[in-house]
C-alpha cells in the first residue's frame, strides 16, 4: 500500500510482525503504547509510593517486561494488546504500592548514640579500616550504598536484596551487589 500512513497499521498486524522478529514493528508498537499508557498511569501511583522511579519509568519498565511475554499472548481483538499492557501496568502499580507499604519509614540515626559493644563489622576489620570503609562508602551512589549495607552489614540474602531493591531476580541482585563491592574496593584503595 504505497503512500499509506505507517501509523495506521493495526496493532494486531504489528504484533504478528514483532512475533516473527521484526524489530521495527516492535518499536512501532512500543512507540504507540508508551505515551498512551503513561498518560493513563499518570497519577495512579500515589506520591508516597514513588521513590527514585516515577510513573514514566514504571510504564517503560513494565512494557519491556511485557514484551517478553508477547509470544504467549493471544489477542482477541484490536484492543486486546492495549488492555493486556494496561493490566500489566496496573498490576505493577499495585505491586509498587504494596512494596512501598511494607517498608518502614526511614529516620536518621542519632550519631551521638554509641553502641555499648563493637559491631561485627568493627570486630572483623578494626577501627581504622572501618573509618576508611565508611569514607569510601559515603562516596558511592546512594543505591550502591544500600546494596553494600544490606549485604555486608545486615547480612541480607540476595533474594531479600532483589525484593527490596526492585531487582528482577536473585542473580540480578548478586550482580548489582558485586559491582557495588568492586566500586567500594576501588574507593578504599584510593584512600591509601
pLDDT digits over 88-137, tens only? 988 888 888 777 666 555 555 555 544 444 455 555 556 677 678 878 88
Taking a C-beta distance cutoff of 8 angstroms, is the pair 145, 137 a contact?
yes
Phi, psi of 189 (to 5 degrees): -65, -35
With 90 as the cut, is the pLDDT of residue 86 above it?
no
CATH architecture of 8-102: Orthogonal Bundle (1.10)
Residue 90: the pLDDT is 81
Mean pLDDT of 26-55: 73
Taking a C-beta distance cutoff of 8 angstroms, is the pair 161, 173 a contact?
yes
pLDDT band for position 141 (cuts 50, 70, 90): very high
Give, in degrees to the nearest 5, the angle at Cα 180 between 100 and 154: 55
> Is the pTM of the predicted complex or chain greater than 0.85?
no
Q: Which residue has the higher pLDDT, 13 or 191?
A: 13
Considering the chain, what is the average pLDDT of its residues?
A: 76
Q: Which residue has the higher pLDDT, 61 or 1?
A: 61
Locate CATH 1.10.10.10 in the chain: 120-191
Class of domain 120-191: mainly alpha
Residue 156: the pLDDT is 67
Render 111-174 in DSSP notation, one character per residue: TT---SS--HHHHHH-HHHHHHHHHHHHTS-HHHHHHHIIIIIS---HHHHHHHHT-SSHHHHH
Q: What share of the chain has pLDDT > 70, as a percent?
A: 69
Mean pLDDT of 61-76: 87
Locate CATH 1.10.1740.10 in the chain: 8-102
Amino acid at each position: 500500500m504505497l503512500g499509506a500512513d505507517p501509523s495506521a497499521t493495526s496493532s494486531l498486524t504489528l504484533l504478528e510482525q514483532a512475533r516473527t522478529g521484526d524489530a521495527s514493528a516492535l518499536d512501532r508498537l512500543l512507540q504507540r503504547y508508551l505515551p498512551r499508557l503513561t498518560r493513563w498511569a499518570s497519577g495512579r501511583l500515589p506520591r508516597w509510593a514513588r521513590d527514585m522511579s516515577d510513573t514514566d519509568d514504571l510504564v517503560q519498565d513494565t512494557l519491556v517486561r511485557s514484551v517478553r511475554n508477547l509470544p504467549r499472548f493471544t489477542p482477541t481483538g484490536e484492543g486486546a494488546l492495549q488492555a493486556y499492557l494496561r493490566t500489566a501496568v496496573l498490576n505493577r502499580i499495585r505491586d509498587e504500592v504494596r512494596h512501598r507499604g511494607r517498608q518502614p519509614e526511614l529516620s536518621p540515626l542519632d550519631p551521638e548514640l554509641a553502641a555499648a559493644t563493637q559491631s561485627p563489622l568493627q570486630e572483623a576489620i578494626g577501627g581504622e579500616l572501618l573509618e576508611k570503609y565508611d569514607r569510601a562508602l559515603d562516596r558511592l551512589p546512594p543505591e550502591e550504598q544500600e546494596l553494600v549495607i544490606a549485604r555486608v552489614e545486615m547480612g541480607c540474602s540476595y533474594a531479600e536484596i532483589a525484593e527490596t531493591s526492585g531487582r528482577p531476580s536473585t542473580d540480578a541482585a548478586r550482580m548489582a551487589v558485586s559491582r557495588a563491592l568492586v566500586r567500594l574496593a576501588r574507593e578504599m584503595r584510593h584512600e591509601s
